[in-house]
Amino acid sequence: DQQVKQNSPSLSVQEGRISILNCDYTNSMFDYFLWYKKYPAEGPTFLISISSIKDKNEDGRFTVFLNKSAKHLSLHIVPSQPGDSAVYFCAARERDTGNQFYFGTGTSLTVIP
Amino acid sequence: GAGVSQSPSNKVTEKGKDVELRCDPISGHTALYWYRQSLGQGLEFLIYFQGNSAPDKSGLPSDRFSAERTGGSVSTLTIQRTQQEDSAVYLCASSLGWNREQYFGPGTRLTVT
């Protein structure tokens, strides 16, 4: 049972434009959300996180938005750069258990120069 | 500083054989996680170690899987009597604590023939 879903397996964006990666979750007990970036043959790299007490968190070109009522998370990259081309995973943790992070299946972003 | 390292990077084994995968976490990180990623899937939580506490083994798929963490540092994931469905990339991550972002190693690609 996939509790964190990334329904778009791939996304292509022109350099300089905005990339929007989406993530949906089913568990209302999730209280902490993260985005990771993964290059081929490397482990995922932490990008940005957001707590459920917030609805937005910004770090440079990366902004994560959280819509708790819709159980929806999105990552905005502005402006997109060719080096952003990677697979992006969203992850969530349940408040009570805390140990286990649930990951989506990833979205492969290609930024076209 | 040094990141999370894993060895071997690739392992090919015959069905029925045992394998050991090693993870060296970042020095000072008290939390250590094992995940696996099968083809086309998201990261699947396997086990979590936090300091000297009993590990959270809730994600281990069968009793053929076990893990230990010696001295609160290096961890070994052991798969006994490997099956073809065990073929996946096994990722290790460490963090400063359960509430902190995880830093991943490059993974071990296991192929069971």
CATH code, domain with A30: 2.60.40.10
Is B31 inside a domain boundary? yes
% of chain B at pLDDT higher than 90: 74
Cβ-defined contact of A100 to B59 (cutoff 8 Å): yes
Contacts of B51 (CB under 8 A, 6+ apart): B30, B31, B72
- Closest residue of chain A to B37, computed from CA coordinates: A105
Confidence of residue A98 (pLDDT cuts 50, 70, 90): low
Q: Are B57 and B113 in contact (CB under 8 A)?
A: no
Angle at A104 between CA A101 and CA A106, to 5 degrees: 130
pLDDT for residue B51: 85
Dump pLDDT digits (tens) for B75-106.
999 999 999 999 999 999 999 987 778 899 99
Is B60 inside a domain boundary? yes
Question: Based on the structure, what is the number of domains in chain B?
Answer: 1
Dihedrals φ, ψ of B101, to 5°? -65, 150
- Closest residue of chain B to A51, computed from CA coordinates: B99
Dump pLDDT digits (tens) for A29-65.
899 999 999 998 889 999 999 999 999 999 999 999 9
From chain B, pick out residues whose CB is under 8 angstroms from the CB of A101: 33, 43, 45, 102
Determine the residue type at A83. G
From chain A, pick out residues whose CB is under 8 angstroms from the CB of B91: 43-44
Q: Which of A57, A33, A28 is nearest to B99 (CA)?
A: A33
The residue written with tokens 């073809």 in the block is B84
Is B78 inside a domain boundary? yes
Dump pLDDT digits (tens) for B58-78.
899 999 999 999 887 999 999
From chain B, pick out residues whose CB is under 8 angstroms from the CB of A91: 43
Which domain CATH number covers B71?
2.60.40.10
Contacts of B30 (CB under 8 A, 6+ apart): B50, B51, B72, B95, B96, B97
Is B113 inside a domain boundary? no
Size of interface A-B (CB pairs under 8 A): 53
Contacts of A101 (CB under 8 A, 6+ apart): A34, A91, A92, A93, B33, B43, B45, B102
Confidence of residue B31 (pLDDT cuts 50, 70, 90): very high
Q: Which of B45, B47, B94 is nearest to A3 (CA)?
A: B45
Task: Tell me how long chain A is.
Answer: 113
Is B109 inside a domain boundary? no
CA distance A29 to chain B (A): 15
From chain B, pick out residues whose CB is under 8 angstroms from the CB of A41: 106
| Domain that includes residue A23, residue range | 4-112
